Amino acid sequence: MKLDLAALRPINVQRAIEGFNCYDNQPLTYRTTALAGEVGELCNMIKKMQRVEKGGFLLQLTNSDYTPLVYTLFRTN
């Protein structure tokens, strides 16, 4: 099955207008930071895959594992 992006575009535009109210009224920074975030997620995944390929381990943390770490990093006392 071939992926037809041209056929998906009208559906995606309608979803952005009706579902997120953010098609024509967002500044350029909204879309660029969204893109940067997605690229960052992809790079992180690639980094982890390469770590495993080189004999490392894939660290699996849950949200509850991150909470104490984030608290320690950002506490202000």
pLDDT of residue 58: 62
Number of Cα atoms under 13 Å in the Cβ half of residue 31: 8
Confidence of residue 22 (pLDDT cuts 50, 70, 90): confident
In the numeric block, the tokens 């004999």 are attached to 55
Q: Residue 62 pLDDT > 70, yes or no?
A: no
What's the rounded mean pLDDT across residues 3-20?
87
> Can you give the pTM of this predicted structure?
0.48
